[in-house]
Structure 1
């Protein structure tokens, strides 16, 4: 009986952490951007009934050369282009039905031209009544063209 309670508590913990998860809503994975261009990174999360406190995000760009396959953003985050608070706003028609998001403007470094780049977001929040700390990373791959 005690083991069943433990498993249920663990499952509730995992579900509440997953409910707080962010997504990179823009740019789209596989998009082509231009070196030197300023892009908008849209960091979004769904609405949830679990109490939480958003703390911060960091956005990094990693020059992968010809391929970002196998890059782990928890091990190689890249050049930090933003680090600061994450205070998403409620939007009635957010991207992909996500209710909260915040946009950040970041510039693609000139020396990334002609390569793939891993755009990485690290998100830190406090979840639950306890609360417990939650750190997650998400990444997408961008194709970086040379500026004309």
Structure 2
């Protein structure tokens, strides 16, 4: 029984730490070789956390199904610190990253992939999550 309670507590802590993608929007058209902004949001939660890092990648799925970011991040566009802050009272804390879409990426469907790493709670539980957003490359 203690195991189930512990498992439920860990699951609730992990769910409370989820990040999100503010933009690009789902299905947004991006131009190969151009800069775009990727916004990663990190809403507040009751559980304390220490944000460590994110990785942002892009993978083409123009000629095959998109793969989950747990299987591939694709071409890495950014990796490093993640320090979300409030910018507007109506939005959760976030950080914007300006990245360059590779000029070699195929036209058609592609996927922006995010890996988010934090330490959660008083015991500094390591937490890793992946996110993705489908876009169109022109």
Identify the TM-score tier after normalising by the shorter chain.
over 0.9
**1:140 and 2:136 aligned:** no
Contiguous gaps of at least 5 residues in structure 1: none
Per-residue deviation, residues 15-61 of structure 1 (Å, max 9, x unmatched): 11111111111011111111122111000011111011000000001
Structure 1 Cα separation of the partners of residues 110 and 86 of structure 2: 30
In 2, distance between residues paired with 1:68 and 1:59?
19
Structure with the greater alpha carbon radius of gyration: 1
Higher helix share: 1
Q: How many pairs were matched up?
A: 137
Cα contact 1:122–1:138 (8 A) shared by 2: yes
Quote the residue 2:41 is aligned against: 44
Aligned counterpart, 1:7:
4
Deviations 1:80-119 (A, max 9, x none): 110000000023221xxxx210000011111224222110
Mapping 1:34-113, distance limit 5 Å: 34-69=31-66, 71-91=67-87, 92-94=89-91, 99-113=92-106
The TM-score normalised by the length of structure 2 is: 0.93
Residue number among 17, 20, 37 corresponding to 1:20 in the alignment:
17
TM-score, length-scaled by structure 1: 0.87
How far apart, CA to CA, are the structure 2 residues paired with 1:9 and 1:29?
Answer: 36
Specify every segment of 5 or more residues in structure 2 that has no aligned partner in the other structure, as ranges. none
- Tell me, yes or no, if the aligned pair for 1:68 and 1:117 is still in contact at 8 Å: no
The answer to whether the Cα contact below 8 Å between 2:62 and 2:106 also exists between their aligned partners in 1 is no
RMSD value, Cα:
1.3
Aligned partners of 1:44, 1:9: CA distance in 2, in Å?
A: 28
